[in-house]
Amino acid sequence: MSSDLWFLVKGVCVLSKKRILIMASGRGSNMEAILDAVQAGRINGEVVGVISSNPRAQALEKCRKRGIRSVVVDRKSFSTKSTWEEELLAVCSSFEPDLICLAGFMHILSSSFVNRFRGRIMNIHPSLLPSFPGLAAQRQAVEYGVKVSGCTVHFVDEGMDTGPIILQAAVPVKDGDDADTLAARILKEEHKLYPEAVRLFCEDRLRLEGRKVFKL
């Protein structure tokens, strides 16, 4: 049954909990921020599982400690991107997610994957998009000499960090910053921004029109 249903409890409309699937292939700190917000009751959802493309991801150990179901779809075990993605799609679908959160999942998804879940896949990126997409966004910002950077949560499309922007948070870039000090400052904001975007989605408070996202 769709979890998009409102149901009545003692005459009050209640939105059923969204099924959240997280894809995390590295450290997993954004994954933890979402898990913490769910656990604290700030998000009307449940994390039904975590998928990693990397069997050595720290995120997997964090899942084990928290009792979260995790599945590895190892990119290196597949000779082509399309066979890997076919398996990824099958595993994702088996979780019946309402929302997929990419959290340090460093792969560009093809249009067949994106089409299957369009408007229901989010990503977090450590820059103020459309500036500095792709790898090492914090280093790109320091080297360019910008005075302000930040992070962006966006819906995923076929491009690299090009999808409709949901929320952004800015931080200053200080004179003595290197990529690591800036990354640490941005990461603190990421851990607030991503759970907030997930919270809004799970309360049906995001409306996507073309490439614009409106907060209801």
- Of the pair 24, 37, the CB lying nearest ligand GAR is at 24
State the SS3 of 68-84.
CCEEECCHHHCCCHHHH
* Min CB(98)–ligand GAR separation in Å: 21
Using an 8 Å Cβ cutoff, are 39 and 66 in contact?
no
Q: How far is the CB of 30 from ligand GAR (least distance, A)?
A: 3
Compute the distance between CA of residue 72 and CA of residue 55 in angstroms, rounded to an integer.
6
d(CA 65, CA 167): 30
Distance of closest approach, residue 151 Cβ to ligand GAR, in angstroms: 6
- Four-residue CA torsion sign, 191, 172, 104, 161: positive
123, 153 contact by CB (below 8 A): yes
Judged by CB, which is closer to ligand GAR: 16, or 58? 58
Q: Which is nearer to ligand GAR, 45 or 150 (CB)?
A: 150
Min dist. Cβ of residue 28 to ligand GAR (A): 5
- Beta carbon nearer to ligand GAR, 16 or 74: 74
Contact set with ligand GAR (CB under 6 A): 24, 26-30, 103-104, 124-126, 137, 161, 187, 190
Tell me whether residue 107 is one of the annotated catalytic residues.
no
For residue 154, the Cα-to-chain-centroid distance in whole angstroms is 8
Active site residues: 125
